[in-house]
Structure 1
Amino acid sequence: MEYSDEYRDKAIVHGLARAIAAEVSSQRAYRFMEFCGGHTHAISRYGLEDLLPANVRMIHGPGCPVCVLPAGRIDMAIQLANRPEVTLCVYGDLMRAPGSRGQSLLRAKSLGADIRMVYSTLDAMRVAEQAPGRQVVFFAIGFETTTPPTAVMVRMAENKRLEGLSVFCNHVLTPSAMHSILENPKIRNTGGRAIDGFIGPAHVSAIIGTQPYESLAEQFEKPIVVAGFEPLDVLQAILMLVRQVNQYRHEVENQYSRAVTREGNRRAKEEVSQVFELREQFEWRGLGLVSSSGLKLKRSYAKFDAEIRFALHNMRVPDNPACECCAILRGAKRPIDCKLFGNACTPETPMGACMVSSEGSCAAYWTYGRLRDEQLRQTS
């Protein structure tokens, strides 16, 4: 196959659905978590859950970096942006991400903070080059997919002697979060039953490869299938998971072989390893403190670390108690289980990160499945 529409062929889609139905056992339930928000949106957009047998359920996982960023880190960024000498550069999805007490970067900007929306690390560098008298801070966020560009930016800033540029680093690691989900019984046992396997993230795996998941599959005896984002990708991954469960296997399989290898992108990983090192722990919204799950700049690049430059202290603040985002991120609840969903919380008036982010599960339900799921809730 060469074109995306070939991965949406209806005949093949229904053929895969029939294959899944033929191979599932009526004597058990299957619960698979898709870690990535891109998969959640694909499942909702193409109505894939409607094609699955009743005893195959997809559990929505952490989703995306904006969703899992805790409110305290947003508060720290706002604290930075409110300094008169600072220009804060952020990606668009972050602007409305909720901090504590109704704060957001968008609100801080409306009150006068110098916050610039950028589309790449190069944009942040241009801001620093054009404003040599300012302290320009790049709000770095993302899973392994967006970490290499940040590493390259830091090395370029050193070569160009951009002393006014620094990084507020919030890059996090997918395998560590998956380990936390599987290790913690309060998280992994959703609705009284354990998660049976994972659909692994696609873009992340294009960087790190499939090898980092092998120890997880072995330790916790859970199959992991890395998959692409098209309907055929997702359904084939589900079929592969069903077969592993039925055969009592727990292996890492690569459905997305057209973009992912076992080794991953060696050049990208080298760039990251030159600039970053592990934090002992990092807080995830919904998962709490997760060991070895975040990155920070190495000591040799400490002069570009905004947390050191501005003597920032890590902040932990409670989430909105009325919002079920934390439970949704760990798969314990669905968006429609939240009383705010579709009422106080919509894309126009988001109350939680899962509705703010373009890859959030609440945004997916609203965009593609709200009316259907609302009808199911009313008739259940």
Structure 2
Amino acid sequence: MATNVESGDDELQFRDPEKAEQLTERLQALMDDIGEPVNVMHVCGSHEQAIAKFGLRSILPDDLTVRMGPGCPVCVTNMPEVDEAVALAENGNIVATYGDMFRVPGTEKSLADARDEGADVRVVYSASEAAEIADEEDEDVVFFATGFETTAAPTAAVLAADPPENFSVLSAHKYVPPAMEIVAEMPDTDVDGFLAAGHAAVITGYGLFEDFVSEYDTPVVVGGFEPIDVLFALVQLLEFVRDDQAGLANAYQRCVTEEGNVPAKDAMWDVFEAESGEWRGIAEIPDANLVLSDEYADFDARERFDIDVDPGAADPLTEQCICGDIMAGKADPDECELFGEECTPQDPVGACMVSSEGTCKIWLEYGGQPDL
């Protein structure tokens, strides 16, 4: 049965050291009750940012491991998808996308490489901004759309609002729940509970995870992104683990409801449909890629343009990148031979080193497991 959980305080300060100490003591007491190591996975780059930036791993119990799963949309954008965007830019179209996508390596080039060679590639902060560019320009404008439910819903809203005729979408949007199922089914991934992303659940609602909890007999807690949010959600997860209960809880109730944002969710599923697709470095995942429905095929860049992708030869270092294992929760960034050496934010080999939500970039910036 799904539940909302509260902190017990009338007013919760999200960076309160005293509250953090209380929650940390509670985590240790729960681990003492459990009596064996616990592995928890979160599926959001914003959670990893909070955990690393605020040094939360340094105050967690020794036997509690918190790893990031496939929660960085930039990181799981497949090379051929980047290749398509590069090809569209090189063919004279204006390509607009989020800043994190600029330097993500395709098979041979990134969009930054294409721009350096003269292509018109622009950074935008939203799908609506890309549509505004199309309204101002005569050329075709392609929005290279990435992200999970949080950004897919705004993309859907733009398409539903009758955008300019020279506007189209190259969708690389992903849908998280099927990826969680793949991770749960991996024989070498031992996950005792999932910390789900609060901002995605604002759209989908936390009730979305009921079937997952029942099917995989694994607890899920939806959590926010401040330090106290993360610690509080981990307490809820460990209580489920201690009680050997596959429960579902909403620890982010100031933003998330059981049903979510129904109009946004309805718009998303009106514009998009789910189909199988490759998540970079992980697997072919059923129903995890969001593609435009037939009703919106006129705005589908893959339908509008003859995209001729000639990927060429991949960087030999790519074969050494373990970004896929990191996204599957099977490895940490500092286990990669390239980490911080051949692979840096300035010269990334893998997508995990590019995005602000990428585990490798976050660990290089903040340190993943600091000993404070």
**Same structural fold, with TM-score higher than 0.5 when normalized by the shorter chain:** yes
Match of 1:64 among 52, 59, 72: 72
Cα separation, 2, equivalents of 1:197 and 1:343: 33
1:221-267 superposed Cα distances (whole Å, 9 cap, x missing partner): 10000000111111111111111111110011000011001100011
Deviation at 1:371, TM superposition (A): 9.0
Cα separation, 2, equivalents of 1:371 and 1:172: 29
Contact 1:71–1:318 at 8 Å: present in 2 too? no
Cα separation, 2, equivalents of 1:356 and 1:2: 40
1:359 maps to what in 2? 357
Cα separation, 1, equivalents of 2:322 and 2:167: 37
Match of 2:348 among 350, 362, 368: 350
Deviation at 1:27, TM superposition (A): 3.2
- Partner secondary structure for residue 286 of structure 1: coil
Extract unaligned runs of 5+ from structure 1. Answer: none
Moved more, 24-33 or 72-81: 24-33
Residue identity matched to 1:17: T
| Alpha carbons of structure 1 residues 302 and 315: separation in structure 2 relative to 1, 3 Å | farther
Match of 1:10 among 17, 20, 30: 17
Deviation at 1:156, TM superposition (A): 2.3
The answer to whether 1:239 aligns with 2:239 is: no
The answer to whether 1:284 aligns with 2:291 is: no
The answer to whether 1:299 aligns with 2:283 is: no
Residue identity matched to 2:273: E
Cα separation, 1, equivalents of 2:122 and 2:310: 23
1:321 maps to what in 2? 319
Matching of residues 85-234 of structure 1 within 5 Å: 86-101=93-108, 103-132=109-138, 134-158=139-163, 162-185=164-187, 189-190=188-189, 194-234=190-230
| Alpha carbons of structure 1 residues 64 and 314: separation in structure 2 relative to 1, 3 Å | farther
Query: Root-mean-square deviation (CA), in Å?
Result: 2.1
Contact 2:219–2:241 at 8 Å: present in 1 too? yes
The answer to whether 1:274 aligns with 2:281 is: no
Residue identity matched to 1:366: L
Match of 1:248 among 240, 244, 247: 244
Residue identity matched to 1:43: I
Contact 1:307–1:313 at 8 Å: present in 2 too? no
Residue identity matched to 1:271: A
Q: TM-score, normalised by structure 2?
A: 0.92
Cα separation, 2, equivalents of 1:313 and 1:295: 21
Count of aligned pairs: 360
Cα separation, 2, equivalents of 1:287 and 1:106: 25
Contact 1:26–1:55 at 8 Å: present in 2 too? no
Cα separation, 2, equivalents of 1:234 and 1:318: 38
Moved more, 32-41 or 361-370: 361-370
The answer to whether 1:332 aligns with 2:330 is: yes
Contact 1:283–1:290 at 8 Å: present in 2 too? yes
- Partner secondary structure for residue 365 of structure 1: helix
1:76 maps to what in 2? 84
Contact 1:93–1:357 at 8 Å: present in 2 too? yes
- Partner secondary structure for residue 293 of structure 1: strand
Contact 2:193–2:220 at 8 Å: present in 1 too? yes
Residue identity matched to 1:108: A
1:50 maps to what in 2? 58
Cα separation, 2, equivalents of 1:117 and 1:28: 47
Deviation at 1:26, TM superposition (A): 6.2
| Alpha carbons of structure 1 residues 208 and 315: separation in structure 2 relative to 1, 3 Å | farther
1:308 maps to what in 2? 303
Deviation at 1:217, TM superposition (A): 0.7
